[in-house]
Amino acid sequence: MAKTEQTGDATPFLPDRLELGALREASSGCRGCLLYEPATQTVFGEGPERARLMLVGEMPGDREDREGHVFVGPAGRELDRALEAVGIDRGDTYVTNVVKHFKFEERGKRRIHQTPKRWEVRACIPWLRAELEVVEPEAIVLLGATAAKALLGPSFKLTEARGEPIESDLAPLVTATAHPSAILRMRDEGARRKAREALRGDLRLVAERLGRRVRSASSR
């Protein structure tokens, strides 16, 4: 895998017709960066084309890369539990990643996650911007620092703005929280429990705000 900065991005691979089916099909042939070479496949976003809520993570993991679906591994199970706990139906939510290929380092038989470089994020982000244009979500939750910095700029600090509404033209409501995979890295059950509650708390606020938007619209 290349160690030096790459130029170019996914733009030449985007289809003329911006709809999710066409985007998904076109993304399977993307060569905008070199991450496609070792990866099994492109892992594109999934969910309704007019979902009110979009969740954006960093990139697919090992299981996602093998199965071709987003958030189906251990971090995905944490996310599913958190969504269920706050009353958000994942089936009504569009879930995607900034980077569409799994970046990893092989250690024996294991494939270890590696954080994508800034130019790899830059190369892949045309797909995410196209998804945003098609879905037009009312709310976006950025899961983790990579996703937040990709859309809000490199100066964004998750530790300072976590769970807070962020002024952005991306959607009426934008917020950021920790990536569910952070829970898996906790060393003891007490820390994991605390991290789960924090994630659920951030998602609960989003659910409540979306609920208020529905009630406000219906009262007009």
Burial annotation 158-171 (CB, 10 A radius, 16+ → b, else e): beebbbeebeeebb
What's residue 217's pLDDT? 47
Cα–Cα dist 60/42, whole Å = 9
What's residue 113's pLDDT? 94
What's residue 96's pLDDT? 98
Q: How many CB atoms lie within 10 A of CB 11?
A: 13
Q: Give me 190's structure tokens.
A: 């007490």
Q: How many CB atoms lie within 10 A of CB 143?
A: 27
With vertex at residue 181, the alpha carbon angle to CA 122 and CA 38, rounded to the nearest 5 degrees, is 50
What's residue 1's pLDDT? 41
What's residue 214's pLDDT? 52
Share in percent of the chain as helix, strand, coil (round to 5)? 45, 15, 40
In order of start, what are the domains of the chain with their CATH numbers? 11-210 (3.40.470.10)
Q: Hey, is 219 helix, strand or coil?
A: coil
Report the amino acid identity of residue 87.
G
Element holding 96 (H helix, E strand): strand 93-97
**In this structure, are residues 92 and 53 in contact, taking their beta carbons and an 8 Å threshold?**
yes
**Which residues lie below 8 Å from residue 195, measured CB to CB, with a gap of 6+?**
178, 182, 183, 186
pLDDT along the chain (220 residues), means of 10: 66 96 98 96 97 98 98 97 97 98 95 95 98 98 98 96 96 98 94 97 96 57
DSSP H helices, the chain, are 20-27, 62-67, 74-85, 118-135, 145-152, 158-161, 181-184, 189-218
